[in-house]
A and B are shown apart, each in its own frame.
Chain A
């Protein structure tokens, strides 16, 4: 990402005058830097505090909602909450289900999405404009609004309730990822593809050997975006899975919040423990790849 700054640099002046003007402008500039930092710090606090509180709350033996409860207290620390949530929703099983759901979507997006992005950017075929228009249009149709017909199709007609396939199918190819792939392939020099073609390489080989290795940043961006979609998705797997053994963690935790929490000794502690387990993998993946989650990588995909 370019570190474009809005700061105005002093223009050419005589050295004496330059000295004066820089001391003059320094104090407001420094002041504005402080305003900027203050604003950003307030923002960061507002964004991070609930996560900190989530962790602290998940470790409390007795829920302490007073101000002092926001600070860790060694005499009130326990892992019981994790045990409590684990005994009612089996964290390991739910995590495996979340993993299979997310893995299926990632696989579908990487295989078919890369093919589609390559076809849209590099190859010429009839109907390319129409498919691209559809790809953009699809971003505006809220998925939730199709839940009734999708439910009829997948659960009622095809009988895919309580199956991984039924969970994965509506998310199988992430359209935003396809947009990012297309945009990135478009930016690669055309001569590269021409040269490989003249050498007799097949399109599949060009995609695999040339385009994909060069598109690594775009692929990583798309992987993060694609990962957080199904990992965090609640409504669709909630509709499709009634069998607890097949529910992803987001669904089983939500069911715990709305139905079961009342029975626990420390319901908030157990909920927060489950929340930590659900949040941790997504945050870890994001932190690992955050370098690639920048406005320049994503901006090109969003601009279309």
Chain B
């Protein structure tokens, strides 16, 4: 990032010679400082990714501790099983429903709120802080209120009166997943508002001046200056929202009592938990995980093509 000035006068020359003598030592210290983090990355990311790939090609199951069992190589059987499983297919379809709702809602709402917040307005800190509160609160805690709000006889249904859906929200197979998508949008929005606020500081002010000189209205200015100006942030927002969607577990586990009704809100991570940890078919669950990583990377690639820097 920063370039140090080239050595010019003898004094700096002297300094840099001394610096090079120290360089070997600094090299060693740098390696020493980074070592714990590198070990951590290898132990927590690199090795588990390798282990997941290995497991997914083996009939890897949990046996009683100490028992010596054979876990034979079975090629792509786990993957075939995943592709053929209705539960797995349904869970990937559920994530698709989730993303179709969550990503556009997140992008539009967080950009609009960030733009509204990016001005000298009264109570600015209050607004900013109130938007972050859901993001910093545990999902387990907030889930409790949403369950209360959207339960059969809850406040929302009381307000809707005869318009209340039958069966109620989280036990309705059409509404459960969309409501989870809205819940997660609400929960994460503050973080994305923050990202857009940072991006808005980098949009050149001259562009706004030029737009107003050309007589562009507010909406026009927003569409042709703000939206393109924060394009790289939009890429980051869609990417992070996609990852959040792929990670979905707590919400279907608690809001819909384990992905109900009839798996209509089950997420792939929930299926992985049920298959891998509850049933003990770890190899099969690992294969589902690999498929999900591949899907996320493909989506990220598409988003980069559409929104990424040129």
Residues of A at the B interface (CB closer than 8 Å) are: 1-8, 32-33, 36-37, 39-40, 43-44, 46-48, 50-51, 53-54, 57, 63, 65-67, 69-70, 112-113, 115-116, 118-120, 123-128, 131, 134-135, 138, 140-153, 156, 169-170, 172-173, 178, 186, 190, 194, 197-198, 203-204, 224, 228, 231-232, 234-235, 239, 250-251, 253-254, 257-258, 268, 271-272, 274-276, 278-279, 282-283, 286-287, 290, 293-296, 298-299, 302-303
Rounded to whole angstroms, the CA-CA distance of A196 and B34 in the bound complex is 21
Question: Using Cβ atoms and an 8 Å threshold, which residues of chain B touch A115?
Answer: 33-34, 36-37
Contact of B37 with A116 in the complex, beta carbons under 8 Å: yes
In the A-B complex, list the 6 residue pairs whose CB atoms are closest, starting with the nearest: A299-B198, A125-B30, A123-B30, A295-B198, A232-B138, A119-B33
Contact of B133 with A51 in the complex, beta carbons under 8 Å: yes
Q: How far is the CB of B203 from chain A (nearest CB, A)?
A: 9
Contact of B282 with A152 in the complex, beta carbons under 8 Å: yes
Residues of B at the A interface (CB closer than 8 Å) are: 1-2, 4, 15, 18-19, 22-23, 26-31, 33-34, 36-38, 40-41, 43-45, 47-49, 51-52, 55, 62, 65, 112-113, 115-122, 125-134, 136-149, 151, 153-155, 158-159, 186, 189-190, 194-195, 197-201, 205, 208-209, 212, 218, 221, 236, 239, 243, 246-247, 249-250, 253-254, 257-258, 269, 272-273, 276-277, 282, 285-286, 289, 292-293, 296-297, 300
Question: Using Cβ atoms and an 8 Å threshold, which residues of chain A touch B31?
Answer: 119, 125-127
Q: Which of B48, B134, B253 lies in contact with A150, CB distance below 8 A?
A: B48
Contact of A43 with B131 in the complex, beta carbons under 8 Å: yes
Q: Which of B113, B149, B154 lies in contact with A40, CB distance below 8 A?
A: B113
Question: Using Cβ atoms and an 8 Å threshold, which residues of chain B touch A125?
Answer: 26-28, 30-31, 34
Contact of A286 with B133 in the complex, beta carbons under 8 Å: yes
Contact of A47 with B134 in the complex, beta carbons under 8 Å: yes
Contact of A239 with B277 in the complex, beta carbons under 8 Å: yes
Majority secondary structure, A binding face: helix
Q: Which of A32, A39, A119, A253 lies in contact with B218, CB distance below 8 A?
A: A32
